[in-house]
Amino acid sequence: MSNTLQSQFFSYQAQTTPYAAGFEVSHARGSYIYGKNGEAYLDFVAGVSANTLGHSHPRIISAIKEQAEKYLHVMVYGEYAQENPVKLCEWLAMHTPAPLEMTYLVNSGAEAIDAALKLAKRATGRSKILSMVDSYHGNTHGALSVSGKEIHKAAYRPLLPDVEFLKFGNEEDINLLDNKTACVIGETIQGAAGFIRPKQSYFKTLKKKCEEVGALLILDEIQPGFGRTGKLFAFEHFGIVPDILVMGKGMGGGVPIGALMASRVLMLQFSHSPKLGHITTFGGNPLIAAAALATAEGLVEENVMEQIPEKEALFRHKLQHPKIKSINGMGLMLAIELESDEYCLHIAKKCMENGLIVFWQLYYNRFMRITPPLTISQDEIVKGCDIILACLDQY
């Protein structure tokens, strides 16, 4: 048996599908990932919206190195005041509107979703949760319970009780909220469904109803957050502020992180009656927080978000082709719709053969995701779009 990295990968590292690409990575810089023979792949996926400032951004690498020289892990979450996590939480408080003020740092998006659901139940004393059809919130039992695609859930039932689903963007369904509802949870832009953006009035109507019945609005910005739509968080486009904001992915700039933000009053619920309401050993880890803080500061200091509308316009201008049926999403969270799931998978494979990494959406594979690093240049956008267009012409 050969002893390549790929063969060892298939032998020893547990797989999520029977057909992983098994691409052998050498290193990654900026908008490119390099294979072991030095071949360069332009990255239109960014680790599924995680590499906000591109690969190995010098400010992130040096922040990690600086913290690593001082100390790594010293104590479980919440016990000690450590510079990077404290500064990160302060930065978030300074860059988000009231009442968002305190941040709870955890290890992943799904864990942050679980914590947000617990907080809503704890704060309201209610158990009913409303979520959205076709939503994706992660793969822990809690996050899976509120995800809206039965095919991914059926094998794991029973899941959380008292969860019901609204049609995303449907204002009539909002009437399902009542005074037993602890919270409504939704993505600001639905991801796995194909980057679906609701009509402009939707979140205002939803938030108003939440206030009427005393339910909390949880927005999952794990994917659209951290600048991807051109604002720090996508809710800023819709004129509302959620009660609990959940983030992850792009927040870490390439390291694993999740977090939830809420008002001080809400967030302090975790600290009493019972105390230790949500605990985790590595949440708020200083190394991870160093990377997240560097990402946040880079987003602002390098004017990354200001350039997003122009880059979105360039993508939309370039990606005109008879085989592209629509372009969903906003900012650098775009999805092009092709004729079928099989065709999209085929084109993604052909793009890779031609030096471009693209991917498909989890629930509806006919949507091809375009979520490059936010720092991608105009020339790189043109180059990548030309590869997609050539593949669509040829196959």
Ligand X SMILES: Cc1ncc(COP(=O)(O)O)c(C=O)c1O
Quote the CA–CA distance of 393 and 395 in Å, as a whole number: 6
- Residue 333 or 387 having the CB closest to ligand X: 333
Query: Pairing mode, if any, of strands 32-35 and 216-220?
Result: unpaired
- Measured between its terminal Cα atoms, the distance across the chain in Å is 35
Query: Pairing mode, if any, of strands 356-357 and 40-43?
Result: parallel
User: What are 184's strand-pairing partners?
Assistant: 130, 217
CB 26 within 8 A of CB 41: no
Min CB(282)–ligand X separation in Å: 14
- Residue 220 or 380 having the CB closest to ligand X: 220
- Residue 260 or 391 having the CB closest to ligand X: 260
Task: Please tell me whether residue 328 adopts helix, strand or coil conformation.
Answer: strand
Residue spans of beta strands (DSSP E) within 189-233: 216-220
- Residue 260 or 293 having the CB closest to ligand X: 260
- Supply the DSSP symbol for 155: G
- Residue 89 or 246 having the CB closest to ligand X: 246
Min CB(221)–ligand X separation in Å: 8
- Residue 54 or 142 having the CB closest to ligand X: 142
Min CB(362)–ligand X separation in Å: 8
- Residue 259 or 299 having the CB closest to ligand X: 259
Min CB(13)–ligand X separation in Å: 17
- Residue 124 or 140 having the CB closest to ligand X: 140
Min CB(317)–ligand X separation in Å: 27
- Residue 113 or 305 having the CB closest to ligand X: 113
- Supply the DSSP symbol for 261: E
CB 224 within 8 A of CB 247: no
Quote the CA–CA distance of 5 and 113 in Å, as a whole number: 34
- Which residue is nearest to ligand X, using beta carbons? 109
Runs of H (alpha helix) within 249-394: 264-267, 286-301, 308-318, 341-353, 378-394
Structure tokens belonging to residue 153: 């859930």
* Interacting residues toward ligand X by CB under 6 A: 108-110, 113, 136-138, 187, 191, 220, 222-223, 248, 258
Min CB(391)–ligand X separation in Å: 25
Greatest CA separation found in the chain? 65
Min CB(258)–ligand X separation in Å: 6
Quote the CA–CA distance of 380 and 309 in Å, as a whole number: 16
- 65-90 burial, b at 16+ Cβ within 10 Å, e below that, comes to eebeeeeeeeeebbeeebebbebbbe
Min CB(187)–ligand X separation in Å: 5
Query: Pairing mode, if any, of strands 359-360 and 367-370?
Result: antiparallel
Please name which of 157, 220, 150 lies closest in space to residue 183, comparing C-alpha atoms: 220
Task: Name every residue whose Cβ is closer than 8 Å to that of residue 126 and which is 6 or more positions away in sequence.
Answer: 180, 181, 182, 215
- Residue 224 or 387 having the CB closest to ligand X: 224
Min CB(197)–ligand X separation in Å: 14
